[in-house]
Amino acid sequence: MENTQQDIDYQWFTENYAELSAKYRGRFVVIKDKTVVADAATYAEGVRLGQEKGPLGTFIVQYCDGTKELYTNYIASMNFV
C-alpha cells in the first residue's frame, strides 16, 4: 500500500517536530506537501486556512507544544441527528 500525501506530510511533521515546536509553540500548523502553509490559534482556524490552500484531505493540521505525546490528534466519534 502506497503512502498518501497526508502520511508523507505527517512523517515530515514528526521528523521536524523539534524545529516546528520551537517556531510555532502553542499554535496549530497547517502542512501541505511537507511545507507549513499557515499557522493558527485554533484547530478550526487551521482547517479554514488549510481550505484556502486546497480541499479537505490535501493538508493536515497539527498542534505544536514541544511534547512528543501530542503528535496525534484524537477525534471522538459523535452522533449527529
| Residue 63 covered by a domain | yes
CA distance 18 to 66: 7
Domain that holds residue 35: 5-68
Bridge partners for 61 per DSSP: 30
**What's the number of domains the chain is made of?**
1
Write phi, then psi, for 63 (nearest 5 degrees). Answer: -90, 140
- pLDDT tens, position by position, 17-64: 999 999 999 999 999 999 999 999 999 999 999 999 999 999 999 999
| Residue 16 covered by a domain | yes
| Residue 73 covered by a domain | no
Distances (CA, A) of 77 to 42, 43, 44: 20, 17, 17
pTM: 0.81
